[in-house]
């Protein structure tokens, strides 16, 4: 899509005529977007936005609560080890959160929320969106080309 397709709709320019807001408040500019990306080889605390690329051996990473509803978070198991299972564990400290959709029927206001997401093979990934300042909702997940669809699990035990 050519940049000039929407150029005439820019109402408030942020960077010349290359980037701006249209009359409905949507960002208009180059096609696509660059997502903040972090790379991690050992369990640590991940950012609560953007893309996290996990590699190395089996480990667990902590994901803190989103700041607001509507934030996208993508996590990818990019290990070169086919048996490396990467775990996402919810934060229980300041910024405590949980994952919607656990097999224990966890949900907003639930007393039994999801506390862990496992990406159990290389190539597995999960896309989440925050639905509140305490809840992540997995909206998409995938395995690699040779694994089963069971690369994503959401459990209530850490």
Element (DSSP H or E) covering residue 43 = none
Side-chain half-sphere CA neighbours of 51 within 13 A: 11
Q: Is the pLDDT of residue 137 over 80?
A: yes
Strands 135-142 and 98-99 come out as parallel
- Identify the CATH number of the domain in which residue 99 sits: 2.60.120
Q: Is residue 108 domain-shared with residue 87, that is, in the same domain?
A: yes
Tell me the residue range of the domain where 27 lies: 1-33
What's the average model confidence in pLDDT over 82-90? 81
Q: Is residue 25 domain-shared with residue 50, that is, in the same domain?
A: no
Read off the pLDDT of residues 51-80 as tens digits, 9 standing for 90 and up: 999 998 889 899 988 988 889 999 999 988
**DSSP notation for 44-88:** -EEPSSEEEEE-SSSEEEEEPPPSSTT-EEEEEE--SSTT--EEE
| pTM of this structure | 0.73
């Amino acid at each position: 899509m050519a940049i000039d397709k929407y150029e005439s709709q820019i109402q408030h320019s942020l960077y010349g005529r290359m980037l701006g807001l249209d009359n409905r408040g949507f960002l208009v500019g180059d096609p696509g977007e660059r997502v903040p990306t972090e790379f991690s080889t050992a369990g640590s605390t991940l950012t609560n936005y953007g893309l996290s690329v996990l590699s190395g051996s089996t480990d667990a990473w902590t994901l803190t609560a989103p700041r607001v509803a509507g934030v996208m978070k993508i996590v990818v198991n990019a290990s070169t080890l086919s048996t490396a299972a990467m775990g996402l564990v919810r934060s229980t400290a300041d910024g405590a959160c949980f994952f919607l959709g656990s097999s224990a029927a966890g949900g907003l206001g639930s007393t039994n929320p999801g506390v862990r997401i496992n990406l159990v093979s290389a190539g597995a990934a999960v896309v989440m969106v925050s639905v509140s300042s305490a809840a992540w909702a997995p909206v998409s997940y995938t395995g690699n080309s040779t694994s089963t669809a069971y690369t994503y699990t959401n459990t209530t035990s850490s």
